[in-house]
Amino acid sequence: MTSRERMIAAMEGRPVDMVPVAPYFWGAEYAWKLMGIPIWELIHGPRSIGLEMQEAIIRRHDCDWVLHLHHGSNRMEGKELVKEDEDQVLLRDTTSGKEYIFHKEGHWLLEAGTPNEAKVRKKMIDVDPPSNRAEADDWIKEHFPRLDEPAGEMTPNREEPGHFPDRFNLRCMHPPFADLAYALGFEPTLVLLNDNPSLCAYMAERLMGDVARTSAQLAADGCDGGLMVDSYASADIMSPEAYANWVAPLHKLTSDELHRAGLKSVMYNTGNMLPLLGTVKGMGYDAVSVEERIKGVEMDIAEIRKGLGLDVCIFANFDSYLLLNGDRDKIRAEVSRQLKAGLVGGSRFIMGTGSPICDGAEPEALDLWVSETRAQSRSI
């Protein structure tokens, strides 16, 4: 089987020759060391560098999916390194002489003296959300003007998916609730959800046009699926009732739009999902992925399987910190535990990580994890 065939078969519950492996490589984290360049050159290099990054990951780890997350910003063009210290990198534009700071923690590349994004975004905490539909419509028109534009015919961009025809290619897409929280601000959105949930849901549902547009674009580009990522809708942030009544219907519509475009739908909801599994089970996603722990709550893979049942494909939530620490015996044992719990009752299981691969992880630890998954899953 090709990697693409293996991933699709696992999602559909058909036999596979071995369990597919699909870890989260998030942006430039970790991948820069496979390419032998500093992380700021990967993040802010030419746009095509994202494709080079994926090639480096496949060459080293031979994973079954390609999650297209990163394109270079091209902002390194014409800049030279002046000095590097523990927290930041000083760069200089060779033409203008202007100096720029790359902040290692946030990965911002800003002209020297410019406040970083974290300081700017703090101002969003004090934003008052709209109080009625008229105000909501005005806010949406200002922040999402293209929603009122006709979608038109999609212009295919097949360079990335077409480069990996034997892999399962997908891209991220934000669901409407997460888009609303990003644009309005995390705290104002949660205040609105608590004080006026119907208005909050109305605003989020208005953004469904972007979901349909994105789904159509992914299909035109030749992707196999979309990864619905929501970091703001979990039981450590909202009640199970609020999720089921106001947010889950939008998550389901996101899966429906992906299916309408002929794509597989994969949900990756970070945070504590244990109290929400009964709701997630009926959404129709082709696969569901959760973190390994959140704020002291361990999300055991066996409990995830029990909560979602045998008809939903689940991703393993292999501990990224275990890969970071690199203990070979513990990695082998955890591979075995995850496989036995996830494969109960069939083949709807994909080996993945609960969180993205840590920046400090060593490639040899991931090599072992991949090889052990393939070797052990062949014998189950």
Mean pLDDT of 288-304: 91
Question: What is the reported pLDDT for 124?
Answer: 47
* Nearest C-alpha neighbor of 339 from the set 312, 305, 290: 305
- Residues 272-286, mean pLDDT to the nearest whole number: 96
**pLDDT tier at 149, thresholds 50, 70, 90:** low
- 11, 312 Cβ separation under 8 angstroms: no
- What pLDDT does 213 receive? 87
For the chain, the C-alpha Rg in angstroms (whole number) is 21
Q: How far is CA 295 from the centre of its chain?
A: 19
State residue 294's pLDDT score: 83
More confident residue, 71 or 202: 202
Proportion of the chain above pLDDT 70, given as a percent? 95
pLDDT tens column, 113-139? 877 655 544 444 557 889 999 999 999
Tokens at residue 365, please?
A: 């630890």
Of residues 169, 299, 171, the one with CA closest to residue 234: 299
When pLDDT is averaged across residues 151-158 and rounded to a whole number, the result is 67
Q: What is the mean pLDDT of residues 324-333?
A: 96
The pLDDT of residue 174 is 78
Cα(261)–Cα(128) distance, integer angstroms: 36
| CATH label, 132-285, candidates 3.40.50.300, 3.40.50.1010, 3.20.20.210, 3.40.50.970 | 3.20.20.210
- Is residue 236 pLDDT above 60, yes or no? yes
Distance CA 248, CA 37 (A): 41
Packing angle, helices 363-378 and 49-61, rounded to 10: 50
- What's the chain look like in SS3? CCHHHHHHHHHHCCCCCCCCECCCCCCCCCHHHHHCCCHHHHHCCCCCHHHHHHHHHHHHHCCCEEEECCCCCCCCCCEEEEEECCCEEEEEECCCCCEEEEECCCCCEEECCCCCHHHHHHHHHHCCCCCCHHHHHHHHHHHCHHHHCCCCCCCCCCHHHHHCCCCEEEEEECCHHHHHHHHHCHHHHHHHHHHCHHHHHHHHHHCHHHHHHHHHHHHHHCCCEEEEEECCCCCCCCCHHHHHHHHHHHHHHHHHHHHHCCCEEEEEECCCCHHHHHHHCCCCCCEEEECCEECCEECCHHHHHHHHCCCCEEECCECHHHHHHCCHHHHHHHHHHHHHHHCCCCCCEEECECCCCCCCCCHHHHHHHHHHHHHHHHCC
Domain boundaries, the chain: 132-285
What is the pLDDT at residue 243? Answer: 96
Q: How far is 171 from 244, CA to CA, in rounded Å?
A: 26
Give the mean model confidence (pLDDT) for residues 290-313: 92
- 350-379 average pLDDT score: 95
Flag whether pLDDT at 9 surpasses 50.
yes
8 Å CB contact between 4 and 166: yes
Model pLDDT, residue 160: 80
Amino acid found at 332: R
Confidence of residue 371 (pLDDT cuts 50, 70, 90): very high
